[in-house]
Structure 1
Amino acid sequence: MKKKLIMPVALSSALLLGAVPMSSVFANSDSASVSSVQAQKKWNENANVPFFVKEKHAQKFSASNSTNAVNYLKKNETKTKVKNPDKNLKVKNVAKDELGMTHVRFNQAVNGVPVEGSEVVVHFNKENEVVGVNGRVNQTLVEEPVNTTASIGAEEALQIAKSSVNAPSEFTYEPTAELVVYPFEGKNYTAYKANVNFMGDAPGNWFVFVDANTGAVIDKYNGIMHADEIKTQKGVGLGVHGAHRELHVSRVKEPKSGTQFALADFSHPNLEGIITYDAKNDGSASNDTVFTGNSASFKSDYDRAAVDAHYNSEKVYEYFLNEHGRNSLDGEGMAIQSFVHYGQDYNNAFWNGRWMTYGDGDGEFFISLSAGLDVAAHEMTHGVISKTANLQYRNQSGALNESIADIFGALVDDSDWEMGEDIMAPAAKADGVTRLRSLSDPNSVVVSNAQRAAYATDDRKVYPDHMDEFYDMPLNVDNGGVHVNSSITNHAAYLIGQEIGREALGKIFYRALMVYLTSTSDFSDARVAVVQSAIDLYGEDSAETVAVNEGFDAVGIYASTNE
């Protein structure tokens, strides 16, 4: 199979795994750069009211489509609280799953302008019967309509957004601005949602909400979670810890240097490729190149980070394909790209919205972060999340984002229920820091001082394993506790997995992510979504469903529905 190996013109977007002060947790390195004003603001949770309706007597339609989904909602406004759905909803997508069910996902909209964080999903069974509907709706817009006219243009809003985050001149991809209705601080704004993404010393995947009438910045948060003809063949390499790796590499004919071998894998049908790049530790995206060598054997010390990144990417790809029938992160065969040797002594790895980036570590706390299969799986799962539920990277929805990434990290790297044990440097281990998080025993891992200092009101020092231990943090500390509080749902997943096994756990959580979770889902929503997924797959009275309920009970996460 032959393909053209094409370097992307510029580096791409970002969701940070974490900047890591000692004892940290894949934490957001840019939290300190969020304005002090933002720290005092609160996301208007009351604007998005959750609901989950299960039909005891399914309503049958002629077909499972968006028209009939709207017809159902019109007939059941009292149950769902979705008023005038034909006017106030905009179709986002329609998807059919492996059980034969069809799921119609809508955005709430005002005059066709989407409402940020408000989604409704109608679920049909294979007999074209509506069996449930869930999501969040902004009730305030029903009584108090918002004027969606914009006084400023998208380009002006982009300039304001760029300035507000001190963006450099080089972007990973072209910044975008979309007109939305944005509920914040008890008010609904007509705003531009700008996305500004860049690399550098402080990578950013900023979402900035600019008032479409005054130009004021309402809110912002950093969502970083961070040729010639070729022919793919087999190669080998040594990983960071010296493990022998069998690789898929490509023979490349270069005009000046002759035949070389690239860490570029085009052996998988319907996949655009698995490609690993060398960022060269120089801080300049323009110098990044596909990682190459003079032979198909990659065994030098410099090669090792790239070998593991390339090998682990294929392992994660195979997991999602074999276990869930998902072809790459977007489900449609997008290229899986990794960048290694990023920055100087960079204690971080991140998914940037389009690819993975790995630092080499400082040798004191971390070694090369690409050494961890669970790290790769965590980062790539962020990519899957961004293409499915797209959980907002803040507060409880952000903690769910991190938790689901951890859960699949532990499912792919199934040797234990720990995160990050393979990337710790000898000095960190000597200090007793042997991993970053534990799904089995969250309380055994210490939370960093940097994460606690700004807000903790007691002497707690460890990750929570129950809602009684939840850290209530402002947005400028770990984006509202996205890493710290993720351990609560992590522990629920571990307890469930102990009862039903990893395979069933993965299927249930994957279905919840694909079908039921929405961008602003919180922990209570997650319980409802995971329980319903277990019921769909195994039945209401199954051992799997019982285990899911007991797992969430054990960590103090209870469902609030309007059934």
Structure 2
Amino acid sequence: MRKKFIAPLVVTTALITASLPYNNVLAVQPDHQVENQMVKQWNEKANVPLFVKEKQAVKRSSTSADDALNYLQQNKEKVNIKNPKADLKKNNSAKDELGMTHVRFNQTKNGVPVEGAEIIVHYNVDNEITVVNGAYNEDIEASKLDTKPTLSSEEALQVAKSSTHAPSTLDQVPTSELVVYPFEGKNHLTYKVNVNFLGDEPGNWYVFVDATSGKVVDQYNAIMDAGHFKTQTGTGTGVLGDHRLLHVTKSKGEKEGTVFQLADYSHEGLDGIITYDYSKNYLELFSNKSAAFKSEFAEPAVDAHYNSEQVYDYYLSEHGRNSLDDNGMPIQSVVHYGDNYNNAFWNGTYMVYGDGDGEFFIPLAASLDVAAHEMTHGVTSNSANLIYRFQSGALNESFSDIFGALIDDSDWEIGEDIMAPAAVADGRTSLRSLSNPSKYPVGAAYVAYGNGEGMYPSHMDEFYDLPANLDNGGVHINSSIINHAAYLTAQDIGREKLGQIYYRALTQYLTANSDFSDARQAIVQSAIDLYGEGSAEVTAAAGGFDSVGIME
């Protein structure tokens, strides 16, 4: 029996003013220009893509990390890594449902991990190494970077909290890790500090603090916008009037008497599906005097609770995945966030839903595809962990959109159920479209970075070359190219096979810095693993990318 997860009922919050743009998963793009744009400096030796496919694989004695390292050492010229045994450290190893084993390594410098540099060695069911992929930083390998910090991790944490204007009390325990961070053409020894908090400007900040000078090298907000307890059956009414059957918990308090809470502990091996209210600017379990949640105030909570279970069931039944981390972590939602808040996001711990302003959005918890989008960010965070910037960030967003459309399978739109009447009357019938991305315009601030037409892109010819401080380099905009590739593939092989292929690519092949080209290779290879070389599924997977201009 797993220990039940009981989250804190009250979390101290404070007004937050973020020092970088707050990035939303489902927000309408801003129409203002941003000054002091970050200029990217290209370093061709940093994060060199690696994809080696063995045409005549040799049977190995085992599928251990030691064997994988031996293979890399023996084939160091082929994989272009000078000293794998010295520079690679095992991250994890896992066998999948096909009997294939995937061994992951992080690149290190003098034992310090290199941010975003990861190598995966893939064994087939016959213990043969078939593919090696990932990214390696040749520049760091050859450098003489000093990896001894003079700053302490505690000092780095204080710098990070100050830089992000974090409140004194954080929602999650902050983490700090010494890493080598390639940024703007230089390699820095930094502490990678994560601070997480809610409030008027919620944050899931990653701050890279120079381990010698104490200065902030880089930072970004990775908010990804969306006793004994006995669980019993309850009912509720959703935002759109849907009747919902719910799993709820009956509890007796000293003052309030018997109450029913949106806390579901009915799933074996899962630490609970729990829904919170944030209307008082702190978290408390959503409660009701009866097991029938029928008030207008309860409607968003009913939908959030119900939709969370639907998404959980999809990942479990279709992919054998037990919650977002595949280890039964609690699935937690927060409703009534903010004042007329037009967004939903994943903050690394919770799915958080605003109530909308009634003009553009109704309560965002009403939409199953929004819940699936936000929860898939949690799946991504616990698998490929795609960095939330530029093409890797666009992939992060795209996988959330794709699985949102697969789970809410009535159409290929995202957010069609949460558009307010005024928005629909104005022609905005959904947030994004996988079938026809260019039906909607991007914000005015983004137009100059595209082909001039100002619409969401469907092809690499329409790619938006955005700086880092505009939509984190285009994570919500350029994602529509991958969205459209997936849609085109599904027209040939159907939704179920598309989901199998894309899930495998996300969880077994992609790494933190993967770009669109890496995604093509990972998705085609996943189709080969599942359906065989030369199959119709492989042709369809490759064809989707061909059609949007992402070639070999």
| TM-score range for the pair, normalised by the shorter chain length | over 0.9
Residues 142-164 of structure 1 deviation map (CA, whole Å, 9 limit, x = unaligned): 32232101111111111222222
**Equivalent residue, structure 2, for 1:300:** 295
Is the Cα–Cα contact under 8 Å of residues 38 and 220 in structure 1 kept in the other structure? no
| 1:498-517 Cα distance to aligned partner (Å, 9 max, x none) | 10000000000000011110
1:356 corresponding residue in structure 2: 351
CA deviations on 1:92-143 (whole Å, 9 max, x unpaired) are 0001001101100000001110001100000111222111100100011232
1:161 partnered with 2:160? yes
1:493-541 deviations in Å (ceiling 9; x for gaps): 0000110000000000000011110000000000000000000000111
Q: Does 1:72 align with 2:82?
A: no
Alignment partner, residue 152 of structure 1: 151
Of 405, 417, 432 in structure 2, the residue corresponding to residue 410 of structure 1 is 405
Tell me how far apart the structure 2 counterparts of residues 306 and 187 of structure 1 sit (CA, whole Å): 47
1:100–1:472 distance in 2 versus 1, CA, 3 Å: same
Match of 1:543 among 510, 521, 536: 536
Per-residue Cα deviation, 1:253-300 (whole angstroms, up to 9, x for no partner): 1121221111111111111111111111x3x33xx2111111111111
The amino acid of 1:423's aligned partner reads I
Cα distance in 2 for residues equivalent to 1:143 and 1:230: 57
2:271 match = 272
Task: Give the SS at the match of 1:172.
Answer: coil
**Structure 2 equivalent of residue 512 of structure 1:** 505
Evaluate the alpha carbon distance shift between residue 427 and residue 37 of structure 1 in structure 2; reply closer, same or farther with a 3 A threshold.
Answer: same
2:232 counterpart residue number:
233
Counterpart contact for 2:403–2:499, Cα < 8 Å: yes
Instruction: Show the 5 A alignment for 1:165-180.
Output: 165-180=164-179
- SS of the equivalent of 1:58 reads coil
CA distance in 2, matches of 1:439, 1:45: 33
Residues 2, 230 of structure 1: 8 Å contact kept:
no
Deviation at 1:480, TM superposition (A): 0.2
Which residue number corresponds to residue 86 of structure 1?
A: 85
Q: Sort the Cα spacing of 1:19 and 1:548 in 2 relative to 1 into closer, same or farther, 3 A.
A: closer
Summarize the Cα distance change of 1:334–1:3 in structure 2 as closer, same or farther, 3 Å threshold: closer
Q: Deviations over 1:296-351 (max 9, x none)?
A: 11111001000000000000000000000000000011110101001111111111
How is 1:284-433 mapped onto 2 (pairs within 5 angstroms)? Answer: 284-285=281-282, 288-433=283-428
Partners of 2:128 and 2:2 lie apart in 1 by 46
8 Å Cα contact 1:3/1:229 also seen in 2: no
DSSP 3-state at the match of 2:57? strand
Q: Could you tell me which amino acid in structure 1 is paired with residue 425 of structure 2?
A: A
Q: Matched residues in 2 for 1:395 and 1:194: separation?
A: 21
* Gaps in structure 1 of 5+ consecutive residues: none
Secondary structure at 1:513 match in 2: helix
Residue 391 of structure 1 deviates from its aligned partner by: 0.1
AA in 2 matched with 1:232: T
Q: Does structure 2 conserve the Cα–Cα contact (< 8 Å) formed by 1:10 and 1:173? A: no
TM-score, scaled relative to structure 2: 0.94
Shift of 1:191: 1.0
1:357–1:526 distance in 2 versus 1, CA, 3 Å: same
Contact 2:450 2:464 in 1 (8 A): no
2:241 matched residue in structure 1: 242
Q: 1:550 to 1:364 in 2, by over 3 A?
A: same
Contact 2:5 2:271 in 1 (8 A): no
The residue number in structure 2 matching 1:133 is 132
For the residues of structure 2 that align with 1:119 and 1:85, how far apart are their CA atoms?
12
Q: Distance in 2 between matches of 1:256 and 1:378?
A: 39
| 2:25 is the counterpart of 1:18 | yes
The AA in structure 1 aligned to 2:245 is: E
How far 1:385 sits from its partner (Å)? 0.2
> Which segment drifts farther, 411-420 or 255-264?
255-264
Q: Which structure 2 residue ranges, 5 or more long, are not aligned? A: 14-21
Deviation for aligned residue 1:397: 0.1
Structure 1 residue 462: deviation in Å? 1.0
- Following superposition, the deviation at residue 169 of structure 1 comes to 2.0
* Whole-angstrom distance in 2 between the partners of 1:306 and 1:16: 24
Distance 1:210 1:242 in 2: 49
How far did 1:168 drift?
2.3
CA distance in 1, matches of 2:45, 2:27: 33
Determine the structure 2 residue equivalent to 1:7.
7
What amino acid does structure 1 have at the position aligned with 2:467? Answer: P
Question: Structure 1 residues 464, 84: CA separation in 2 closer, same or farther (over 3 Å shift)?
Answer: same
Partner of residue 485 from structure 2, selected from 475, 489, 492: 492
- CA distance change for structure 1 residues 255 and 437 in 2, over 3 Å: closer, same or farther? same
Q: Would you say 1:501 and 2:494 are equivalent positions?
A: yes
Name the amino acid aligned to 2:7: M
| Whole-angstrom distance in 2 between the partners of 1:477 and 1:42 | 16
Structure 2 Cα separation of the partners of residues 333 and 458 of structure 1:
45
- Partners in 1 of 2:334 and 2:243 — Cα distance? 21
The answer to whether the 8 Å contact 1:90/1:107 transfers is yes
Aligned partner of residue 59 in structure 1, secondary structure: coil
- Separation of aligned partners in 2, 1:40 and 1:102: 40
Find the aligned partners of 2:107 and 2:47 in 1 and give their Cα distance: 10
- Confirm whether residue 475 of structure 1 aligns to residue 468 of structure 2: yes
Distance (whole Å) between structure 1 residues aligned to residue 450 and residue 471 of structure 2: 16
Taking structure 1 as the reference length, the TM-score comes to 0.93
Aligned residue for 1:344, secondary structure, equals coil
- What is the CA deviation profile of residues 67-92 of structure 1, one whole-angstrom value per residue up to 9, with x for unaligned ones? 00000001111111122111000110
SS in 2 for 1:60: coil
Match of 1:526 in 2: 519
CA shift in 2, pair 1:312/1:16, >3 Å: farther
Q: Please name the residue that 1:61 is paired with.
A: 60
The answer to whether the Cα contact below 8 Å between 1:375 and 1:409 also exists between their aligned partners in 2 is yes
**19 and 551 in structure 1: CA distance in 2 versus 1, 3 angstrom threshold:** closer
Against the structure 1 CA distance between its residues 510 and 11, is the aligned structure 2 distance closer, same or farther, given a 3 Å change threshold?
farther
For 1:521, the aligned partner's letter is S
- Does the C-alpha gap of structure 1 residues 254 and 65 become closer, same or farther in structure 2, counting only changes over 3 Å? same
- Structure 1 residues 169, 41: CA separation in 2 closer, same or farther (over 3 Å shift)? farther
Q: Residue 3 of structure 1: CA displacement?
A: 7.8
Q: Residue 550 of structure 2 is aligned with which of 538, 547, 557? A: 557
Contact 2:451 2:463 in 1 (8 A): no
Amino acid at match of 1:377: A
State the one-letter code of the partner of 1:278. D
Contact 1:3–1:230, Cα closer than 8 Å, also in 2: no
Of 94-103 and 245-254, the range deviating more from structure 2: 245-254
How far has the Cα of 1:402 moved from its partner? 0.1
